[in-house]
Amino acid sequence: MPYYAVAKGREPGIYTDWASTESRVRGYAGATFKKFNTASEAQQFISNYRSSGGSSSGGGGSRSSDTAPSYTAPSYTAPSYARPPVRAALSRAAASRRSNAPYRRIGGGRASYDQSRQNSGGDSYGGSVAAAPLPQRPSHVFSGMGQPQPTYPGLPAHCNDLKPHNVLYVDGACNPATRASDGVSAWASVVDGAGRDVVCASDARGGDMDIQPQNLPVGKRNVIVTKASHVKTQNNNGAELAAMAYALRYANSKPGEVKVIASDSSLVLDYWSKGRVSKQTRERMDPAVKDLITEVDGLRQQFERNGGILVKVPGSSNPADLGWH
C-alpha cells in the first residue's frame, strides 16, 4: 500500500490513495508531498519538514525505485487589472437595484449588502457569506501526527476501526498441489484480520472436517481438506463452502466478537450460504454437500441476527488466499 505524505498543502497529512492526495496539493502554491512504501517513512518526511521550518530535506529514510520524487509546486500570482469604468458603473447600478434583496448561496449560506452603501454612494460589499463546512477527513486518511489505524484488504473504510479478531477471511483452492495425493482434493483456509490461522484440528468446530497442516506458498497453515470435485466444474467450490462453514461456526461460538466474514466466492456468498442451489446442481450433488449448504444457511442467519455481515472481497486482496491466486 502506498503512503502519500503531504507536508504542505490544503490539509497536511498521510493519505493512502492518489486521488485524495491530489485534491490536497493540486493548485496549491508551494505544495510539498512525497510517496513512500511505509507509514513510518511518510510520517518522518512530515516531521522533518516541520522541524526544518518548511524546507523539506527529503527525510523519511530510503525509498524503493518506484517511489515518486517529492515535488514543490511553483507559486503563481495572477496579475491584477483595473476595473473598466463602464463595467464598474454597471456593477454599481446592478448592486443598487438589489441592495435590499437577500442573496442565498447553494447550501444555505446567506449574504447581504451593506445598507450604508446607499448613503455613501459607494460600491463596497459589506456583507459576508457563511462558510461552507469543511468535509470530514475520510476514515482511510491518517492524521499527520497520529498512528495509522489498522486497515483490512478489500473491506470498506468503515471497517477500519475493527480489531483483527473481529474479522475473518475465508478461501478455497484446488490445483495440482492440492490434488497430489488423490487427484480430487481441494483445501480451505480461514484467517483473522491479521492473517493469523484460526483453523484448529483439535477444535470441536471442525470435528467433522479433515484438517491437516500444510506448507503453503504463504507459509504453514492448517487447511480443511474437501473432495467435492463433483460440484460443477470448479473443484474449489466445495473448499470455499467448507471454509465458510468453519468461519460461521467459529463466529457463532463467540457471539458479537466476529463482526465481518469476507470471501471472494460469489457462489457461496450469493447462493449457497442462503440455501440457494439450482435444481440441476442439486440433483447431482453429494448429499454431504447438500447438508453442509443447509447448515451454512442456518449459520449465516444466526450470524446476521447477532449483527454480523458477510462481505465480498477481490481474490487478489484476500489474506486467506493459499498462495496460488
Domain range annotation of the chain: 3-50, 157-317
Residue 76 has pLDDT above 70, yes or no: no
Least confident of 4-13, 199-208, 239-248: 199-208
Residue 163 has pLDDT above 50, yes or no: yes
Higher pLDDT, 191 or 148: 191
In this prediction, residue 204 carries a pLDDT of: 61
Q: Which three cell numbers stand for residue 58?
A: 527529503
Residue 129 has pLDDT above 60, yes or no: no
Least confident of 30-39, 179-188, 245-254: 179-188
Which residues does 229 contact at the CB level (< 8 Å), separation at least 6?
174, 184, 186, 235, 238
Q: Is 3-50's fold the same as 157-317's?
A: no
In this prediction, residue 139 carries a pLDDT of: 41
pLDDT class of 253 with cuts at 50, 70, 90: very high
pLDDT class of 309 with cuts at 50, 70, 90: very high
Answer yes or no: CATH 3.30.420.10 is held by domain 157-317.
Answer: yes
Q: First CA to last CA across the chain, in angstroms?
A: 19
Question: What is the pLDDT of the chain when averaged over all its residues?
Answer: 74
Break the chain down into helix, strand, coil percent, rounded to 5. 30, 20, 50
Higher pLDDT, 68 or 268: 268
Strands of 71-72's sheet, edge to edge? 13-15, 3-8, 32-36, 71-72
For the chain, what percent of residues have pLDDT higher than 90?
A: 29
119-128 pLDDT tens trace: 444 443 334 3
Helix and strand element counts for the chain (H, E) = 8, 12
From the options 3.40.50.1000, 3.40.50.300, 3.40.47.10, 3.40.970.10, give the CATH code of 3-50: 3.40.970.10
Rounded-to-integer distance, Cα 57 and Cα 267, Å? 52
Higher pLDDT, 118 or 13: 13
In this prediction, residue 304 carries a pLDDT of: 95
In this prediction, residue 258 carries a pLDDT of: 96
In this prediction, residue 27 carries a pLDDT of: 82
